[in-house]
Amino acid sequence: MSPETDSVTAEAEAVATQAQAIAPETATGLSAIALALPGRLPEELRTELIAFRRDIHMHPELGNREFRTTSAIKARLEQAGLEPRVLPGGTGLICDIGTDIGTDIGTDIGPDGGTGARTGAAAALPMLALRADIDALPIPDTKSVPYRSTVPDRAHACGHDVHTTVVLGAGLVLAELAREGRLPRPVRLLFQPAEEVLPGGAPDAVEAGVLDGVGRILALHCDPKVDVGRIGLRIGAITSACDRLEVSLDGAGGHTARPHLTTDLVTAAAKVITEVPAVLSRRVDTRSGLAVTWGRVESGHACNVIPQHAELSGTVRCLDLPAWREAPDLVHAAVDEIATLHGAKSEINYVRGVPPVVNEESSVELLRRAMETRRGSYAVEGTEQSLGGEDFSWYLEHVPGAMARLGVRRVGDTARRDLHCGDFDVDEGAIEVGVELFTAAALLG
């Protein structure tokens, strides 16, 4: 842990104390298993995890450059007697817990929450992977808090520091349960780099073998629209596909006094910007939600000169897999048609990003049972499909799994907050909620 975190340790302890208020006050409304299921977060570890999150928050690193973050995670896992393995790119790591379960007799969680002998057959359950993303965003941190980012124009504005801390905390708890013979299946912790860099770090992680032996994978994502102490679940698509679109337009330039002798590239670019989304809306089922949104336009240097070159870039998002698979051809055709109509030559760079995250039903049910076991049915709510992209989707092309939305909004907070904004922050009680969710899923799954 960095010495810089010493100044916030006292505050972290206060937050940890407040976090206990989020937990169920009594056993009323909970099944007996909620009392018997092991894996609660000890007070000392709760405080440590808040400080760990703040340390990462103060030292954000961009995708594929998360060397300090990787080192901090690795050191803490090794301190717990585990053997983490850094991924081939030098950032990110995996760590297996309980891989020797199949050779020993241990204990299992019974339907009433009790424990009993676990046979080798039961111990042969496939490995459960818990995934966290570890990279930050290239934006400034605008919060006035002791743990504000110390790196200019870098911030954990998407909650990846929380995701990382949750999986670390779950790993530490599960490692202790494994030593006690109370972990019914092996678990792999996956700390993945470069989620924010299309097409994400997940394809490289899959190529490196992180899913070898894995039968199911779970993840969570901070949601500032959900109160702390709750999670949002959805069967099916919970995020959208997201690709990057770059368009270059070229044509004869000239004097603004004689646009009829030019391609009038600025007008051509304006038409591509406005007409391409309109054309696409008539070529795909509107329920697919295919949308082109531009984020950058650049052309010209003088008010009386029609330029010879223009550049546009933006994103292509859609709600379902069939539309995502058709999108490149549809977008190419629409851009070419509009550009040609206005005499411009177009060059398109369509960068594949990520497909939608499609939650598998039994994995969603596992998360539901885990959360209800820990905190009751009140703690689970439905959630809508987001137009945001998430490279967790690549794992689900290979194994079943699901992503939950982790509530991070302070109870009673009415301010409108969103991800990818410089003032993004969380109620740190969400860390305990996430750890308990994942530990219960590992025990029940």
- For 425, the 3-state DSSP assignment is coil
Residue 111's pLDDT is what? 37
Tens of pLDDT, residues 2-39: 545 455 555 555 555 555 555 544 334 455 555 568 88
Residue 417's pLDDT is what? 81
Neighbours of 165 (CB within 10 A): 28
How far apart CA 424 and CA 411 sit, in angstroms, is: 16
Neighbours of 158 (CB within 10 A): 22
How far apart CA 31 and CA 44 sit, in angstroms, is: 27
Residue 116's pLDDT is what? 40
Q: What is the pTM of this model?
A: 0.85
Residue 106's pLDDT is what? 35
Q: In degrees, to the nearest 5, what angle opens at C-alpha 415 toward C-alphas 229 and 137?
A: 80
How far apart CA 408 and CA 411 sit, in angstroms, is: 9
Tens of pLDDT, residues 65-113: 999 999 999 999 999 999 999 999 999 999 999 987 543 323 333 434 3
Within 8 A by CB and 6+ apart from 97, the residues are 82, 171, 174, 175, 178, 183, 186, 187, 188, 189
Question: Which has the closest alpha carbon to 345: 421, 417, 263?
Answer: 263
Enumerate residue ranges in the chain where pLDDT < 70: 1-36, 101-124
- One DSSP character per residue, 54-90 reads HHHHHS---TT--HHHHHHHHHHHHHTT---EE-TTS
Please, how many CA atoms are within 13 Å of residue 339, restricted to the half-sphere of its CB? 21
Residue 158's pLDDT is what? 97
Residue 416's pLDDT is what? 77
